[in-house]
Amino acid sequence: MEKKNEIQTKDAYELFLNRFKIQEKALINFGLEETIYPDNISINKVTEQWHNLKDSLLSNKEVYIRQFGQTGENNPLFKDFIKYIFGNDNIKIDPSRNSRPTKVLEEVTGLKKNKSISNYQVSHTFGMTKNPLLFTAAWNLAFIPKLMDPFTGHESSGILKTSYEQEYQKVIKRKFKVFIQEYNRIIDEFIVSEKIEEFINLQIKSNNYPEKLMGKFRKEVSINFAKIPLD
């Protein structure tokens, strides 16, 4: 029996590295070593910012999240959810999707984008940008070289992206283990499946939200309010 020709998968990242004779390990090391972490200046500032953020969420003070969806028409859902879970009805939507995290990182590191540093961008290590505990938590933020964006962005895929993300998150988990443990304890205390389902059912009945939308919302909640594994 004649064998069918196997389709060769081309990975543009591998082609680039091979063309310019760049070793994968060297690229990963460059990204890790040239990233500006929030504790580069003072871990005390990171600690203070985290304590203030927790206090703001649990004391009904102003906290920020990124919008839900491309246009943000369903932002009220996340605002109502956070109020239902944490008792906070002072939730703000970041006007430019990343201005508040940028401000936090600049304050903690003492650096300014496009002034004291160039061709860096603000990155959320663990994502979860609709979670007020993580959207502006300094320990979940870093200035990464824009050159590394192809290996961290949501549009990317492949072995190299996975390898870099794993190594990068190892560094963050080692640096900020105490903060992650505390975050996980808060999630264990407040985010229980019964309350999530209770909220979803209430929204379908009282606000006539379609079940399809609430299914998408349930998925977003499970992603944005997950614990961060330390193993």
SS (H, E, C) 202-220: HHHHHHCCCHHHHHHHHHH
**pTM score, whole prediction:** 0.91
Side-chain-facing half-sphere of 221: CA atoms under 13 Å:
24
Mind listing the pLDDT tens digit for each residue in 76-95?
Answer: 999 999 999 999 999 999 98
Q: What is the secondary structure of 109-169 as a DSSP string?
A: H---BTTTB-SEEEEETT--TT-TTTSS-GGGEEEEEGGGGGGTSTT--SHHHHHHHHHHH
Mind listing the pLDDT tens digit for each residue in 129-165?
Answer: 999 999 999 999 999 999 998 777 666 677 888 899 9
| Positive or negative: CA dihedral 104, 145, 13, 25 | negative
Tell me if 161 sits within 8 A of 46, measured CB to CB: no
Q: With a cut of 70, say whether residue 7 has pLDDT above it.
A: no
pLDDT at 10: 82
